């Protein structure tokens, strides 16, 4: 089976068309005002309507309150909600109880082996995990989309209960190496296929998907 690819931070029709053309597997839409990839739910609904059924939509949020989740669920009905903040297993269980049938991706920030162990905490409350690079401890740093990698060897030889996705600093040039080192079956990219922050490059999207799926 080829590696599955998620292109995240989509915010214009050209980028969405690019992922359709190259047969990406997941489309990520970010709802986080501090991010250069943030978009309104109305705009997201327009872009999501472009997607064929085979591409699964992912709503990316950071420590969302119930009001935001209610709005996302009613207006977009995404295939997945990706939780990219400090959400606890208890919070994920509360979200699952509130929204029948919702699928959750929990992003985990990774810097060392101890961070990998967080994965076990989410075995019964998430549907999928994402391993992303831990952001620097500095003011106004985004929780993701920073173009940073972590030591991929930390994942080598690990077996997880849940399916998982590799993220963090991936580009068309390094994604094949990352897949080989980690054994990832799914990869996620945002800044690595951009001309500048928040502006996707269709040529880089094509190159990334090709590199990942040819491993």
Question: Cα 52 to chain center, whole Å?
Answer: 19
Which residues have a Cβ under 8 Å from the Cβ of 67 and sit 6 or more positions away? Answer: none
User: How would DSSP label each residue in 153-169?
Assistant: GGGTT---SS-EEE-SS
Cα gap 60→29, rounded to integer Å: 6
Our CA angle for 106, 100, 51, nearest 5°, is: 65
Q: Locate tokens 């972590």: which residue? A: 150
Residues labelled as active-site residues: 8, 132
Question: Positive or negative CA dihedral for 139, 64, 42, 128?
Answer: positive
Cα gap 34→123, rounded to integer Å: 30
User: How would DSSP label each residue in 33-90?
Assistant: TTSTTB--HHHHHHHHTTS-TTSEEEEEESS--HHHHHHHHHHH--SEEEE-S---HH
């Amino acid at each position: 089976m080829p590696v599955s690819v998620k292109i995240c931070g989509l915010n214009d029709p050209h980028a969405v068309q690019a992922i359709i053309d190259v047969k990406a597997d997941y489309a990520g839409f970010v709802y986080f005002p501090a991010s250069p990839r943030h978009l309104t739910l109305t705009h997201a609904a327009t872009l999501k309507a472009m997607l064929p059924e085979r591409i699964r939509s992912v709503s990316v949020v950071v420590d969302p309150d119930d009001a935001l989740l209610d709005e996302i669920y009613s207006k977009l009905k995404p295939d997945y909600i990706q939780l990219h903040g400090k959400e606890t297993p208890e919070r994920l269980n509360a979200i699952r109880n509130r929204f029948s049938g919702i699928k959750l991706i929990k992003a985990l920030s990774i810097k060392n082996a101890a961070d990998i162990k967080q994965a076990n905490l989410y075995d019964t409350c998430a549907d999928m995990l994402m391993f992303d690079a831990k952001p620097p401890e500095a003011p106004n740093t985004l929780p993701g989309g920073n173009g940073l990698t972590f030591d991929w060897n930390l994942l080598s030889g690990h077996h997880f209960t849940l399916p998982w996705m590799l993220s963090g600093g991936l580009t068309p040039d390094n994604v094949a190496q990352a897949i080989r080192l980690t054994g990832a079956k799914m990869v996620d990219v945002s800044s690595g296929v951009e001309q500048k922050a928040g502006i996707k490059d269709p040529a880089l999207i094509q190159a990334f998907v090709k590199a990942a799926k040819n491993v």
